[in-house]
Amino acid sequence: MKPTPHPKADLHQVRQSIESGQIHLAEPLERALQACEQSACRHAYVLGAQAQLRQAIDDAGRQGPPDGSPLAGLPVSVKDLFDVAGQPTRAGSVVLQGPAATQDCPAVARVRAAGGLIAGRTNMTEFAFSGVGINPHHGTPINPADSRTPRIPGGSSSGAAVSVALGAAWLALGSDTGGSLRIPAALCGLVGFKSTARLVPTEGAIPLSTTLDTVGAITGSVRDAVLAHEVLAQRRVQSSGKTLAGARLALARTWMLDDMEGPVAAAFERSLRTLSAAGAQIEDIALEPIAELAQINAGGGFSAAESYAWHRPWLAQGAEQYDPRVAKRILRGAQMSAADYLDLLSARKRWIASMERQLQGYDAVISPTVPILAPPIAPLEHDDEAFFRVNALLLRNTSVANMLDGCAISLPCHAPDQLPVGLMLWHGALHDDRVLELAGQIEAALAGR
């Protein structure tokens, strides 16, 4: 095992350098092109970014500096889930063979309007239905954090995370239904923010669960996560003016701390000590309602029911073209009745109310993003039992925030010589600004700033 340092793409810093004339836009574009040409980036994109970047470099040479737009002409990768005008949307599958999209979906349109260069379409778990990131059709992007052992990148936004980790994009557009932004961010040493779902439109994105789907981004820093959210949600993040000292953080005990691998537990405990030394008040809280989720979702949950409703015609035409592991999970939805689905909606509403009562008075909840390090790819490719065991562990903590209709962010908390570990801050709906504010302060505390 040899953790590999990789370039952290700092969008703010590069944008300021461009605007001040210290560098020309062509320079970061050329660096992104070089990253795309690395063998490590081989499976990150399903629709090549190299031609787009070469054209952008040529255009930058003929044009003046950018107009001060938030994304400053820098490359943004787009998960193969979102409609981009003139391109097909395949969702990491070989099933969808329809025509190219006629227009950008709202999230992509907002990235363009903010001056982002749509660099390429990133690989993903087929139809976003797994936290592992393995794709049998297009290859599995390799986690750049380890130079010796090919490890999973996490999913479903697998290529998204790898594109940012390698410096092939400054921002990666992705989705999060049960952790699909935060899991790959945690395993690749990046920042992934899942906002309150209603804040960013999901139109023009192939759904996994219309109830739980959230559009967001993977970035290299919390500051860039704030910028990305402001672009995607078309709103300004407001500061409370509070510091980390005195913040009340709930440490959730139910489920969240179970089965942690040694390096994850060590990094998390070290982070808790750092935050306590900075004045944060960390209070143990059982959060017993979390234990109810297994029974609430026993029939497959929203993802099974709602994905099956969308996939029925495609399954009828060619179920054998699906990744069998994805098809298996989608088909669970066929067993749910309308009454079962209505019961699920009611159970979720009651569960959210119970959770929100227990979280009153806390600034955020703090948890490990995932309890394990990124495992090697090879043992999971052909062993279903191992695959589903790892998948369940990866999704266990992150999916709580989706069920809560809340917001959550994962940020790195490991030492530089270790494989990545993510720390997750989360809360209920519309606590986004406070969670982002705290995340920035925690990021600085962990970095010793």
* Matching residue, tokens 């938030």: 70
Q: Please tell me the distance from the alpha carbon of residue 110 to that of residue 178, in angstroms, as a whole number.
A: 24
Q: Which residues contact 271 (CB under 8 A, 6 or more apart)?
A: 413, 423, 442, 446
pLDDT for 5: 47
List residues with catalytic annotation: 79, 156, 180
pLDDT per residue over 166-201, tens digit each? 999 999 999 999 999 999 999 999 999 999 999 999
Q: Please tell me the distance from the alpha carbon of residue 119 to that of residue 51, in angstroms, as a whole number.
A: 9
Query: pLDDT 10s per residue in the chain (449 long)?
Result: 555 545 566 898 899 899 888 999 999 999 999 999 999 999 999 987 898 899 999 988 777 667 789 999 999 999 999 999 999 999 999 999 889 999 999 999 999 999 999 999 999 999 999 999 999 999 999 999 999 999 999 999 999 999 999 999 999 999 999 999 999 999 999 999 999 999 999 999 999 999 999 999 999 999 999 999 999 999 999 999 999 999 999 999 999 999 999 999 999 999 999 999 999 999 999 999 999 999 999 999 999 999 999 999 999 988 999 999 999 999 999 999 999 999 999 999 999 999 999 999 999 999 999 999 999 999 999 999 999 999 999 999 999 999 999 999 999 999 999 999 999 999 999 999 999 999 999 999 999 85
pLDDT per residue over 59-98, tens digit each? 887 776 677 899 999 999 999 999 999 999 999 999 998 8
Q: Please tell me the distance from the alpha carbon of residue 404 to that of residue 194, in angstroms, as a whole number.
A: 12
Strand duo 45-47 + 215-219: pairing: unpaired
Contact status, residue 155 vs residue 75, Cβ threshold 8 Å:
no
| DSSP calls for 234-289 | TSPPPP----STT-EEEEE-TTTTTT--HHHHHHHHHHHHHHHHTT-EEEEE--GG
Structural domains of the chain ordered from first start: 11-290+346-446 (3.90.1300.10), 299-345 (no CATH)
Q: Note the maximum CA span of the chain.
A: 62
Q: Which helix (H) or strand (E) holds 18?
A: helix 11-19
- Look up residue 68 and give its DSSP letter: S
Q: Please tell me the distance from the alpha carbon of residue 307 to that of residue 323, in angstroms, as a whole number.
A: 14
Structure tokens given for 408: 């959550």
pLDDT for 61: 75
Strand duo 407-412 + 191-194: pairing: antiparallel
